[in-house]
Amino acid sequence: MSSFFAQVLDILIVLLGDPFSAKTWQVIFQFIPFVLFFEVPVYLLVTLGILKYGLIRMSEKYTQDRNFPSVSCIITCYSEGEGVKRTIQTLAEQFYPGLIQIIAVIDGAAQNQKTYEAAKSMENVVSRIPKRSLLVLPKWKRGGRVSSLNAGLAVARGDIVMALDGDTSFDNNMVERATRHFEDPDVACVAGSLKVRNIRKSLVTRLQAIEYFFSIQASKTGLSAFNMVNNISGAFGVFRKDVLKAVMGWSTGSAEDLDLTLRVKNYFGRYKNMKIVFDPEAVGLTDVPETFRDFFRQRLRWDGDLSYIYFRKHWMSFNPRLVGWKNFIALLWTGLLFQIVMPFAITGYLTYLAVAFPVSFALGIMALVYLFYLSVTAFFFIIFVLVLSERPWQDMKLFPWIVFMPLFSMINRVHNAFSTLWEIFGKAHQDTSMAPWWVIKRREKTDET
């Protein structure tokens, strides 16, 4: 017991007594390169982008004096059950003067009879609303998300096609916000802002809400200002139908959203003005895992999928001639460095810290790092909420939970490293629950040939 107190005392001494001793600095300098070279440029870029967005947004007003293109919303449904009703209803009740065709594709409708019936029961409700239509498309045999999206695309009549998740509901101005970007003929796709619906459920949902806010709403807004959006989320993507037809729809395999983003970006080299825009005010709310166990399981899949896309499927996209120099660097940076290299670097650094130094010293360093991240996170959170948030009050309520964020991010990074290893050595994407194994298997075969 006394040794524990001694350790704590040591930490305090390192932190408060002599924070700038040579030894501390030595270790901190070993850490700084990561922060300095990997993260800070991105933070700066994102902050600049957000400020740019904020300035433009301030001068913008709602106007009826624009085109309201017809929109097709493909909702990929599986076992959401009654939940799809909500998705359909929030789409049907959009404030949008144009036509909205809602296409609910039920994958494996034979097993998911409840989902199918729930979607069917909305036909009456939607038919009463002018300029809205609902088409329930049962795919009796399960074929995966990609086949649902492509089936939906085949019957989509709108000029704009949205790919949406069956468990995501939308703000009532989402379609209006998302479609206004297509006034600019160079805009190919719009990525929507996903936020957490079940925030108040548990600690892990709150932390995810903060994480979503940073990694989606804030960072994508920043990247979007420089046309460097890294991914159009599969749960919420908006496309020109012509663009989807040009890239021939979605392609089999997991992380089809990132795959599609990269394939669209492959046109950037040829069409210099082409844009992918992120709109922080086109908001969809989704339920996130409520326990740590479910959360890590979800991340295992996502992170694994990510490296699958980068390493196995899209090596060729890492080519400035295809995606343009700017996006090539962005891909390397946010894709490779952030998503793949950083997790390993941080895991390695932590291991080094634990092995090479006494526990009290290591913990001391960790505490410093924690404080550093905490202040950075808190600072940016306040700025971003003030500039970006469409619900500032609600988002500000998350502020106290920021104290957990540095730790949460670190654990995520370490877990990410393991997920990537699992993908590389375990070929985890074949276990994906997003499509039946025979679809994934086929993909493997075509990849080899």
Residues of the shown chain interacting with another protein in the complex, contacts defined by CB under 8 A: 62, 86, 89-90, 93, 95, 169-173, 176, 197, 283, 285, 390-391
According to DSSP, the residues that pair with 281 across neighbouring strands are none
Question: Rounded to the nearest whole angstrom, what is the least distance from the CB of residue 170 to another protein in the complex?
Answer: 7
Structure tokens at 434: 């997003």
**Residue placing its CB nearer to another protein in the complex, 176 or 257:** 176
Burial class (CB in 10 A: 0-12, 13-18, 19+), 29: exposed
Give Cα 424 distance to the centre of its chain: 22
Structure tokens at 146: 């990609």
DSSP classification of residue 438: H
Question: Rounded to the nearest whole angstrom, what is the least distance from the CB of residue 86 to another protein in the complex?
Answer: 6
* Backbone angles phi and psi of 355, in degrees to 5: -85, -45
According to DSSP, the residues that pair with 72 across neighbouring strands are 101, 161
CA–CA distance, 32 with 34 (Å, rounded to integer): 5
**Residue placing its CB nearer to another protein in the complex, 285 or 365:** 285
**Residue placing its CB nearer to another protein in the complex, 180 or 413:** 180
Question: Rounded to the nearest whole angstrom, what is the least distance from the CB of residue 375 to another protein in the complex?
Answer: 31
Rounded to whole angstroms, the maximal C-alpha distance in the chain is 74
CA–CA distance, 203 with 45 (Å, rounded to integer): 30
* Backbone angles phi and psi of 345, in degrees to 5: -60, -45
Question: Rounded to the nearest whole angstrom, what is the least distance from the CB of residue 283 to another protein in the complex?
Answer: 7
**Residue placing its CB nearer to another protein in the complex, 153 or 164:** 164
Place of tokens 């492509």: 150
Question: Rounded to the nearest whole angstrom, what is the least distance from the CB of residue 169 to another protein in the complex?
Answer: 6
**Residue placing its CB nearer to another protein in the complex, 169 or 227:** 169
**Residue placing its CB nearer to another protein in the complex, 177 or 413:** 177
Question: Rounded to the nearest whole angstrom, what is the least distance from the CB of residue 121 to another protein in the complex?
Answer: 16
**Residue placing its CB nearer to another protein in the complex, 92 or 188:** 92
Q: How many CB atoms lie within 10 A of CB 295?
A: 20
**Residue placing its CB nearer to another protein in the complex, 139 or 177:** 177
DSSP classification of residue 93: T
Nearest 5 degrees, angle CA 378-CA 405-CA 254?
A: 120
Question: Rounded to the nearest whole angstrom, what is the least distance from the CB of residue 52 to another protein in the complex?
Answer: 24
Question: Rounded to the nearest whole angstrom, what is the least distance from the CB of residue 384 to another protein in the complex?
Answer: 19
Strands 168-170 and 160-165: unpaired
